Amino acid sequence: MKAHSQVICFGEVLWDILPDGPQPGGAPLNVAYHLNKLGVSAGIISRIGEDEKGMLLLQLMDKWEINHRLLQLDKTYPTGEVQASLSNGNEVSYQIVFPSAWDFITAEKAAMEQVATSDYFIYGSLASRNETTLRSLQSFLELEVFRVLDINLRYPFVKRAVLQDLITKADMVKLNEAELDVVQTVFGGNYGTEQDKVQFIQDRFGIAEVLITKGESGAAYYKDCERYYHYGSAVKVKDTIGSGDSFLAAFIAGHAQGRPPHEILKNAIAMGAFIATQKGACPEYQLDEYLRFNA
């Protein structure tokens, strides 16, 4: 396991409790898992309980060679859980248990130093739901690192003022189409074309890079005044859990390698589709399997 991580993922690490059994999850863990599969060293800043479920997550991180040196242990609060249910065969709804250990992440010195020397810091809005973790997140966002916000709105956990701060601090924001509309509603934005909505975000929050996911319709990437788009493709879906996280991992991998935007989008969309054909957010697979899928 490498001591230095090129990417640090911050926030919730937990178990998704599904009708057919528990699966490891939480966006930071999912993104880190797929980044490591793609050859990009990724680490986690989170907090788990000193309980059986927390120890099982540690064992999995060791197996997956995810850097968890910055993972914190909590004697009071349990490892996080999400009660997930499937509807219409594929769509997932969530009940996120509160409070959980990851609501009490602290900004430890070692973690601050690691983030400051990393290339990317990835965070989501869900991690802001409790004051302790929010204060820690705000400390990390003051560091000189490329900050990526996967907005991941889960009501009732995100307040307008907090969301404004989280977006303002980002260098890149990822949203799906529904979240793009929510941001317009919350901040009095533009209800015109997608380009108009993105332009509002870029102007209002001073963000050069905006990433919009569209499910089977692909994704769009806005950088400064340029728009890039790549279509999606229909696949036989097992479930959509973690598909967006794997998309983001592949996008960041390409971004870090300085690949052309259209190629980055193509590869990221393929990764999201590939994971949708698998069971769970972090399925066992070899890199060659993804590369053949993307050929």
What's the pTM? Answer: 0.95
The pLDDT of residue 241: 87
Backbone region of residue 65 per phi and psi (left: phi > 0; alpha: psi in -120 to 50; beta: other values) = left
Whether the pLDDT of residue 249 is over 90: the answer is yes
* pLDDT (tens digit per residue) in 81-116: 998 776 665 666 778 999 999 999 999 999 999 999
Contact 15, 53 (CB under 8 A): yes
Whether the pLDDT of residue 287 is over 70: the answer is yes
Does residue 154 or residue 216 have the better pLDDT?
216
CA distances from 102 to 2, 9, 66, 276 (A): 23, 13, 18, 26
* pLDDT (tens digit per residue) in 181-223: 999 999 999 889 999 999 999 999 999 999 999 988 999 999 9
Single-letter residue type at 171: D
* pLDDT (tens digit per residue) in 267-282: 999 999 999 999 889 9
Structural domains in the chain plus CATH codes: 7-293 (3.40.1190.20)
Lowest mean pLDDT of 22-26, 51-55, 133-137, 151-155, name the range: 151-155
Mean pLDDT of all residues in 218-243: 93
Single-letter residue type at 206: G
Residue with tokens 């963000």: 207
Q: How far is it, in rounded angstroms, from Cα 220 to Cα 280?
A: 25
Contact 64, 31 (CB under 8 A): no
Q: How far is it, in rounded angstroms, from Cα 125 to Cα 147?
A: 13
> Which tokens is 93 given?
């709804």
Peptide bond into 261 cis (omega under 30): no
